[in-house]
Amino acid sequence: MVPDVRTLILPLVIILCLWVVTSLKGCDNPPLDEQHATGAYGNLMEVITKPGVPSQFKSYTGMDLSFNERCHIPNWVSWELTDDETSGDVGRTNKFYNDPDIDGCPDSWDYSYSGYDRGHMAPAGDMKWSEKAMQETFFLSNICPQAKQLNTGSWKNLEEKCRQWAQIDGRIYIVCGPIIDDKPIETIGDSHVWVPSRFFKVIIAPYSNPARGIGFIMPNGKVEGGMQTCAVSIDEVERITGHDFFSSLPDDVEADLESQCNFHQWSTLRK
């Protein structure tokens, strides 16, 4: 007796459908915002805070940070900066806020009549792409007492350079913050906010050709000779701060980027 062809085809069709579904399972592309955040190397914004340091982590719209409730300033602030994010029409608010989610976050009046600027770590100028991201840079969790000579001088110049580098490379990653040691310059306000004597900034452009990395350590005051005199390797910044930056990079890539200190290579970039 010859079997009905239809009885043979139906099981084959079912098996084929099951094979297709199984093959496609897990092959969905991640959302665009996830791709944007991780790139080829995973989450490059991962920072390991110095062991033993008070650290409260919070992720905002455009930045992540570790806050030191004992010193009332951040340990570090990190963010990704892309070419697209360097432009935008969101205006600066200049209104500073206490973040109620952060233990030990000071109030704006702690800085009043102190002689120090409310110095942004993640700058408002990097967040013109989002009203919420812009507003969140004015949380006092992202602020440190900075001498005006630094805040409006070499620190500002380096912020502007970072925007230029993001436009050239398409995407860079930045971490900055105060260097917290046992002896602040002084404390200010009722909260006794620490005034650090130095600040750091580390920057990598892992997708450029060749990939680049550099660090800076600036005094909390006038920077003699400009930002180029403050250039150091990321390894040196890690040694001084005790933090571990960009720890999700492959070991060989991390070792290469963090050993570099070639300011000329960065300063001569042109779009």
Instruction: List active site positions.
Output: 120
What is the chain's percent helix, strand, coil content, to nearest 5? 35, 25, 40
Dihedral of alpha carbons 46, 247, 231, 179, sign: positive
**Helices in the chain by DSSP H: which ranges?**
5-24, 32-38, 131-136, 148-151, 154-169, 234-241, 251-259, 263-267
CA distance 159 to 87: 14
CA proximity to 110, closest of 193, 189, 187: 189
Nearest-Å Rg of the Cα atoms of the chain is 24
